[in-house]
Amino acid sequence: MGRILAIDFGVKRTGLAVTDELQIIASGLITVETKELLKYLESYLNSENIELFVIGLPKQMNNKASESEKYILPFIKKLEKKFSHIPIKRVDERFTSKIAFQTMIDSGLKKKQRQNKALVDEISATLILQSYLYNI
């Protein structure tokens, strides 16, 4: 059984999370600069068996796609072309950044640590992955 890799795509930074091989536990992996994302994924996939990509689907409260979707769709096309053997699922990512920030507060991180946007992206990717795992 392969791992599932979640992607919280951002214009500047992208948070990644991954499951264990049994697809039970979701853990934050890393936040990478988006311009280096495909290169990072290629390297990661050389050492890990990834069975599925889960990508956040940003929606507005009226259930329509948010503005950031226009940046995600071209990335998905590149991802499908480069890793055509790995399927992609989309997961509603509404409120993940707010939940991630609250998680940082609840876990006792100091204000300076909570300003680390890369950590927010990684936690958001983990939340997207947990949401997917919960609903399968």
pLDDT of 77-111, one tens digit each? 999 999 999 999 999 887 676 766 677 677 787 87
pLDDT of 19-58, one tens digit each? 999 999 999 999 999 999 999 999 999 999 999 999 999 8
- What pLDDT does residue 114 have? 66
- What pLDDT does residue 95 have? 67
Name every residue whose Cβ is closer than 8 Å to that of residue 54 and which is 6 or more positions away in sequence. Answer: 4, 5, 6, 7, 88, 89, 90, 91, 128, 129, 132
- Is CATH 3.30.1450.10 what the domain over 3-134 is classified as, yes or no? no
Q: Is the pLDDT reported for residue 4 higher than 80?
A: yes
Question: Where does residue 66 rank: exposed (0-12), middle (13-18), buried (19+ CB within 10 A)?
Answer: middle
